[in-house]
Structure 1
Amino acid sequence: MKKSLLALAAGTFALGIAEFAMMGILPDVATDLGISIPAAGHFIAAYALGVCTGAPLLVLIARTRPLKQILLGLSVLIVFGNLCTALAPDYWFMLATRFISGLPHGAFFGVGSIVADKLADKGKGAQAISIMIAGITVANVLGVPVGTYVSHTFSWRFTFMTVGIWALVLVWLIWRHIPVMEPLPDTGLLGQFRFFRHLAPWLILFATSLGNGGAFCWFSYVNPLMTRVSGFTSSDMMLLMMLAGLGMLAGNLAGGRLSDRFGPGKVAFSSQGIMCLALLSIFFLAANPILSVLLMVICTTCLFTVSSPQQLLLIRHAKGGEMLGAASVQIAFNLGNALGAWSGGLPVEAGYSYEYTALPASFFAFIGFALLLYFWRRYEYPIRHLRTTSYSRKTV
């Protein structure tokens, strides 16, 4: 495995802990800063807002810079944001540092995807991108649970201090292992946005947002679902979350390999369809603990099986604005998180049990499946069918 791809994965690992660790340590942060838990939840929203702001800022400020230089700058920003978060004295300072911490997130994924695709062997672009994305899945398997343990045992500040120190290592890894690359062709500021005139990128972005939103309708409430409906105890949840994270890791790596073999569009809509069926099954079968765990792993596997295909598809359909296009996937992903958490809470607020979160989840997942299927039929299937037909004629 190329060291350059592992360097990119080290970056997504840091970003994964920076984003998701906060969800497990909110009570500790709230107590230390003297605020309520709902107020501490604003730190999650501030990070997501930073993600959505960082991509267009990158295009505005750094679109003409060499790719390695951009990655180094983003890594320094990860260091700064997380070290400042670790030292935050009050609510407002913390809110600002969480926003700053989110700025490099989507931009790093966007530039990293382009670099991974350029470094990949011929025909293995999706696998290379999946290796980069693997960092965030490993963060969910190991980094977030360890960060939560460190927060509970010592201080939540150590968690973000560790992320900042790791990001210092990331700066060295990128400097040492990422080769010098020329800047992307400068199409001008408006040229970066020109690809939005076409239907294909919108199909991918809406499918990412709605499909991911479907998963998070259910996943945002997986803890009470597992403990109150499936019959698990609170002490079981760390193991269950590790199983969910392993599904994410396996799905991500499988998605890259399968996309290079069968085409990213086909893998994306197939995985989204399986996730839709699994979410619908959760509504009916959540009371069975064994089936509930199995369906959970299937959902988290499919959630990340679609990640590298969608990232690659957006790069291919964002000519002249590849940097913004690749980063836009992360914007859509985070918007889907917010949409899913809100929509999944509606049946709970109405007094229904937690398995009802799977109903809006399966609805959104079905829309994501339909959009990806339409994309594949319109943009990918005709090209692959033509290649297959031409090859068959040559061999006759």
Structure 2
Amino acid sequence: MQIVIAQFVLALGGLFLGTAEFAAMGLLPSIAETFEVNMPTAGHLVSLYAIGVVVGAPLLTVVTARMEKRKLLMGLAVLIVLGNAGSALAASFGQIGVARFVAGLPHGAYYGTAGLVAASLVAREKRTQAIGHVMLGLAAANVAGVPLVTWMGQVFGWRSAFGLVAAGGVLLFVLLPLVVPTRPADKDASPLSELSAFGSLQVWLTLATAAIGFGGMFAVYSYITPTLTEVTGISEAQVPWMLALWGLGMVVGNTLGGWLADKSLTGAILGFFGWTVVTLALFGAVAANVWLAGLALFLVGIGFALVPALQARLMDAAPRAQSLASAMNHSAFNLSNAIGAWTGGLAISAGLGWASTGYVGAALALAGLLIFAISLKLQGKD
């Protein structure tokens, strides 16, 4: 029971981080109005958060290599509070830009460290399931967290949404020492040993697999609101319910994927990439039908099972630098966000229509599958 409670609290951190990351996209119009900037300028806040993730994941992991893991998680909780409280209290667009960068800093390091801690609490044959339980927080963010703070933003103003996430960070800081046992760093850990991860070809190929292959999901997600309103024909108020179906799929994917990955890690990654290729293409084909589009989004969400599976593979690829490898997994997924949004935007700008993002996404997922196949071919030769 203690392990279950510890995993629940670790997942709470994922819930708060995921809520802050994805809800910010829906709050951009209100933020733009407050600071009197246009939407493209307001969109820089999303980019600043992503930059914070990419910078923070390796930097914080390397400099804290010898730090006891529970204390590290508590320190990251403090950054969650500072970044989101700063966002809520920002008096200018420049200030909220800095705050969003700070809010992104703990993202990758938290998910990576929390996944390692969760895995350390169970037997090796259950480690991917444990990582998946932590990732359930991110799935729950899409089911409940994002709709909640989006509603709060509409009723009480966008500042209340970031304020709620900051309060969640305080709760996380209080709960971590109460339920998560101390996990000392590896006695051989050092900044130099963590940096050794960058010398592994398998690490780079796995990161590329995540960055490009998972970009398929973000090609659809980045443009999901206009696709559903313009192609599917639902109202904007109904969009959160469709996103909740995606989130439910993520919950199923995390649970099922972790179990399958512990049976066969390589098989699970290959299988879920194939699943993602098919379901993204399916969404492109059925986007005009509300019932089939909802089913397709649920099925696409199941492909989120790739997140814990790829993190487990990175841990195997960098046995002397598991903390950095795990954290970089989430930097790769934030890079996939940018790749997906860019490629999906190219298709839309070319006049292929909103639903074309499904086919673009399928192509990216197929590219990720091919990179992973190359990784398997070269395994043991780096």
* Alignment coverage as a number of residue pairs: 378
The answer to whether the Cα contact below 8 Å between 2:16 and 2:168 also exists between their aligned partners in 1 is yes
Find 1:154's aligned residue among 156, 168, 185: 156
Q: Report the AA paired with residue 285 of structure 2.
A: F
Distance 2:379 2:63 in 1: 32
Q: Report the AA paired with residue 295 of structure 1.
A: A
Between Structure 1 and Structure 2, whose CA radius of gyration is higher?
Answer: 1
Query: Helix, strand or coil: the match of 1:124?
Result: helix
| TM-score scaled by length of structure 2 | 0.94
Q: Report the AA paired with residue 280 of structure 1.
A: A
1:189 is matched with: 191
Segments of structure 2 that go 5 or more residues without pairing to the other structure are: none
2:172 is matched with: 170
The answer to whether the Cα contact below 8 Å between 2:216 and 2:362 also exists between their aligned partners in 1 is yes
Query: Helix, strand or coil: the match of 1:83?
Result: helix
CA deviation vs aligned residue, 1:229-264 (integer Å, no higher than 9, x gap): 223232321211111111111111111111122x22
The answer to whether the Cα contact below 8 Å between 2:311 and 2:329 also exists between their aligned partners in 1 is yes
1:337 is matched with: 337
Q: How does 1:85-234 map to 2 (within 5 A)?
A: 85-234=87-236
The answer to whether the Cα contact below 8 Å between 2:197 and 2:324 also exists between their aligned partners in 1 is no
1:322 aligns with 2:322: yes
2:272 is matched with: 271
Query: Helix, strand or coil: the match of 2:214?
Result: helix
The share of aligned pairs that are identical, in percent, is 34
Segments of structure 1 that go 5 or more residues without pairing to the other structure are: 381-396
The answer to whether the Cα contact below 8 Å between 2:197 and 2:320 also exists between their aligned partners in 1 is yes
1:72 is matched with: 74
CA shift, 1:122, in A, is 4.3
CA shift, 1:185, in A, is 3.4
1:361 aligns with 2:358: no
Q: Report the AA paired with residue 347 of structure 2.
A: P
The 10-residue stretch of structure 1 (287-296 or 48-57) with the greater mean CA deviation from structure 2: 287-296
2:301 is matched with: 300
Distance 1:290 1:376 in 2: 38
Q: Report the AA paired with residue 282 of structure 2.
A: S
The answer to whether the Cα contact below 8 Å between 1:195 and 1:320 also exists between their aligned partners in 2 is yes
2:36 is matched with: 34
Distance 2:366 2:101 in 1: 32
User: Once superposed, what is the RMSD of the aligned Cα atoms?
Assistant: 1.7
CA shift, 1:290, in A, is 2.6
The answer to whether the Cα contact below 8 Å between 1:265 and 1:372 also exists between their aligned partners in 2 is no
Distance 2:283 2:167 in 1: 40
The answer to whether the Cα contact below 8 Å between 2:122 and 2:130 also exists between their aligned partners in 1 is yes
CA deviation vs aligned residue, 1:266-308 (integer Å, no higher than 9, x gap): 1111111111012223333333333222222111211x11111
Q: Report the AA paired with residue 312 of structure 1.
A: A
The answer to whether the Cα contact below 8 Å between 1:66 and 1:184 also exists between their aligned partners in 2 is no
Query: Helix, strand or coil: the match of 1:35?
Result: coil
Distance 1:20 1:247 in 2: 16
Distance 1:164 1:235 in 2: 26
Q: Report the AA paired with residue 68 of structure 1.
A: R
| TM-score scaled by length of structure 1 | 0.91
CA shift, 1:32, in A, is 1.6
Distance 1:100 1:186 in 2: 30
Query: Helix, strand or coil: the match of 2:125?
Result: coil
Distance 1:242 1:216 in 2: 16
Q: Report the AA paired with residue 119 of structure 1.
A: L
Distance 2:88 2:237 in 1: 28
Query: Helix, strand or coil: the match of 1:320?
Result: coil
Distance 2:237 2:189 in 1: 54
The answer to whether the Cα contact below 8 Å between 1:213 and 1:337 also exists between their aligned partners in 2 is yes
Distance 2:158 2:269 in 1: 37
The answer to whether the Cα contact below 8 Å between 2:81 and 2:167 also exists between their aligned partners in 1 is yes
